[in-house]
Amino acid sequence: MANSYKKITLENGLRVITVPAESANSVTVLILVGAGSKYETKDINGISHFLEHMFFKGTKKRPTTLSISETLDSVGGEYNAFTSKEVTGFWAKVDKRHADVALDWISDIFLNSQFDEKEMEREKGVIIEEVNMYLDTPTAYIGDLWEGLLYGDQPAGWRVIGEKENISSFTKEQVINYYKSHYSSSNVIICMAGGMKSEEMEEKVKMYFKDIEKNSEGEKLKVIEKQSEPEILLHYKKTDQTHFCLGVRAYDLFDERRSALALLSVILGGNMSSRLFIKVRERNGLAYSIHTSVDNATDVGYLVTQAGIDHKNLEKSVQLILEEYKDLRDNKITEKELQKAKDYIKGATSLSLDSSDNQATFYGLQELLEKNILTPEEKFEKIDAVTVDDIKKVAEDIFALEKLNLAVIGPYEEAESEKIKKLLKF
């Protein structure tokens, strides 16, 4: 698969990445900002996400939420935004004939939002209901509890969405100050992908984003990790299922062992023929959904297995997962199993890059977080270079007792914590 991209840096520091695919019918414009909850302090935790919402509340040219949403709805476009611990993103995907509509729209909300106080007050209610939705959705909330267990009371351990008290108290001054200190041209990447030529994309980005400001950039504190024994977190809730995350601390984005870790994750629980899917679901009938994934941030990382099971099956499920962790640590996988995982990652990546939005994300996120871009072929070379011995070394390193963590949502009292903690053993 031939994927070409081009990167330029404008005089104001704005980085522009173009990924042409002239046969594609769509064009995606993606804006990525180096801002997220890791850049916040405790008193403004949640403001990155709150600010993301405020970009859709009105500009001088499009003064209402209706006029903002109608612009792309009227051409059948797709659009949204997201906030994570380290990134805030805005995107619009349209038929390539409407590329100018998307560029005009996304540059307008990004550069000219009014941050109206009445809209702010209304949006507080919306976001508080979003908080309530997550709290009522254990499959989503368990991930927040898991990261809270790993990182505690520091930005990496706080929820991206923030707490209700903070959300209710945000002022226009706080929002504008945060915007000015993080939304700087040198901290922003514009990535365009799809059915256009690179030169055409570049000229359009230059035109639509010529007024972006250059400010000082906000900083984030380095995450502190400390753990000397297995840790658990029990969140009491009357649920029909027990939801849990069981995993270990692992590697950051810059660690050379990342490729081996990704393959290890696929082997464990990355697809429907993975070890844990077969063992926990197919052979024991304990879970409908079980999967293992990896998270690599700029300074920390982890591997985690998540599942929802009957309350009475928590002990057995944890034991079965730990058996597979231990087996990978103590025994080598086969060449056949490794090759299957390699082919899975390469195939899934290739399929995803058929769409312009995934192309933009693939290149843009690398540039923002790593300041270095690898093509799919270069990433595949790293995957292909991983050996059976590499997998064994990673498993020996991460599947250590003192790196093990378990977060649980279900009807469990604190008195049961010691009993559950005793499950964490290899």
Q: 187-205, pLDDT tens digit by residue?
A: 999 999 999 999 999 999 9
What per-residue confidence (pLDDT) applies to 139? 97
What per-residue confidence (pLDDT) applies to 214? 83
**Res. 301 pLDDT band, cuts 50 70 90:** very high
For residues 226 and 32, give the distance between their C-alpha atoms in angstroms, rounded to a whole number: 31
What per-residue confidence (pLDDT) applies to 215? 75
First to last CA, the chain: 43
Q: Is the pLDDT of residue 219 over 90?
A: no
Mean pLDDT throughout 235-252? 97
What per-residue confidence (pLDDT) applies to 213? 84
**Residue intervals in the chain for CATH 3.30.830.10:** 6-208, 231-421
- The per-residue pLDDT for range 119-174, each reduced to its tens digit, is 999 999 999 999 999 999 999 999 999 999 999 999 999 999 999 999 999 999 99
Name the amino acid, one letter, at 256.
E
CA separation (Å) from 403 to 231, 238, 282, 327, 334?
8, 29, 28, 17, 26
Looking at 172-176, 232-236, 412-416, which range is the least confident one?
412-416
- The per-residue pLDDT for range 32-91, each reduced to its tens digit, is 999 999 999 999 999 999 999 999 999 999 999 999 999 999 999 999 999 999 999 999
- The per-residue pLDDT for range 369-397, each reduced to its tens digit, is 999 999 999 999 999 999 999 999 999 99
- The per-residue pLDDT for range 27-36, each reduced to its tens digit, is 999 999 999 9
CA separation (Å) from 109 to 61, 68, 90?
9, 8, 10
Name the residue with higher pLDDT: 391 or 211: 391
Q: Is the pLDDT of residue 339 over 80?
A: yes
**CB contact set of 371 (below 8 Å; sequence gap of 6+):** none
CATH number belonging to domain 231-421: 3.30.830.10
CATH number belonging to domain 6-208: 3.30.830.10
Backbone angles phi, psi at 64, to 5 degrees: -125, 165
Q: What share of the chain is helix, strand, coil (3-state, %, to 5)?
A: 50, 20, 30
For residues 107 and 7, give the distance between their C-alpha atoms in angstroms, rounded to a whole number: 19
Q: What percent of the chain is predicted at pLDDT more than 70?
A: 99
For residues 305 and 229, give the distance between their C-alpha atoms in angstroms, rounded to a whole number: 19
Q: Kindly list the catalytic residues.
A: 52
What per-residue confidence (pLDDT) applies to 143? 98
